[in-house]
Each structure stands twice: as structure tokens, then as C-alpha cells.
Amino acid sequence: MLISAEISAQRLNLEPERTTNGNSTEVFPLASDSLSSSFLIYIHTEVAPHYHAHHSEHVLVLEGEGTMLLNDSTIALKPQTAVFIPKGSVHSAQNTGSIPLKVISVQAPFFDGKDRIHIKKLEQGY
């Protein structure tokens, strides 16, 4: 039995028109429904330490190099690296390469940006 979806299947644009805006990240929504949201993210410098109280996240690196702090672990990021971030896990990312880190982030359930709780760097040792 097939279940009808709220939106139709679609091809995702992984090469959006970009403008240099001086921010540490560029975020492009790819697709979403009530169960999940996906984003294409370019990390120019860093993603500050934060966690999600109600969302789990999958990150897949497409291009670039960097490191991710995930709770007490450090993960090397390079193309084809995939990371699962359980809800409540403090995480951050640093670009260590010469080009932006290009990643796909998939969050579940639907993510509207409000469930991002920032952590002060000095308090957490980041």
C-alpha cells in the first residue's frame, strides 16, 4: 500500500546560485515535510557550538575539509564523511581547508531553525 505524500518527489538542487555575503555559513533549504528537513550548507569558517533539544541530524560532507566536535569526540570531515548527531548532542564544525565545506544536513522531525540552542564557547571548553 502506498501512502500519499504532502509534496511530490523532486530533484534537489545541489548547485544553488550563491552570493558572497561575508557570513560564516550559507544555508539553502532543499526539501521538507512534516517528518524531516534537508539543507545544503556551505561552511566558510565555522558553525558555533550548539545542540538541538528535539531534532536528530545527519550530515554528509560533499566537498572540503574540516573537523567536527561532537560531545567529547573530534571527527575529521572530508568528502563522503557521514555523521549522525543525536538530539541533545553538542556539536560544532570548523573549516580547515581552502574551500568551503559543502554539506547536506537532514534533520528530523521538520526543522524551522528554532531548535538551535547555542553554547558559550568558554563554558564548554570549545
Domains annotated for the chain, with CATH where assigned, are 25-124 (2.60.120.10)
Percent of the chain exceeding pLDDT 70 equals 88
Residue 21 C-alpha cell reads as 555575503
State the pLDDT at residue 15: 79
Q: What is the pLDDT of residues 67-76, one digit of tens each?
A: 999 999 999 9
Q: What is the pLDDT of residues 37-95, one digit of tens each?
A: 999 999 999 999 999 999 999 999 999 999 999 999 999 999 999 999 999 999 999 99
Radius of gyration of the chain (CA): 15
> Taking Cα atoms as reference points, which of 44, 92, 24, 96 lies closest to residue 65?
96
State the pLDDT at residue 124: 46
User: Given strand 91-95, what is the order of strands in its sheet?
Assistant: 73-77, 66-70, 91-95, 46-51, 117-118
pLDDT at 122 over 50: no
State the residue for C-alpha cell 569558517. 45
Residue 85 C-alpha cell reads as 548527531
Q: Out of 6-10, 20-24, 38-42, 97-101, pick the least confident.
A: 6-10
State the pLDDT at residue 13: 76
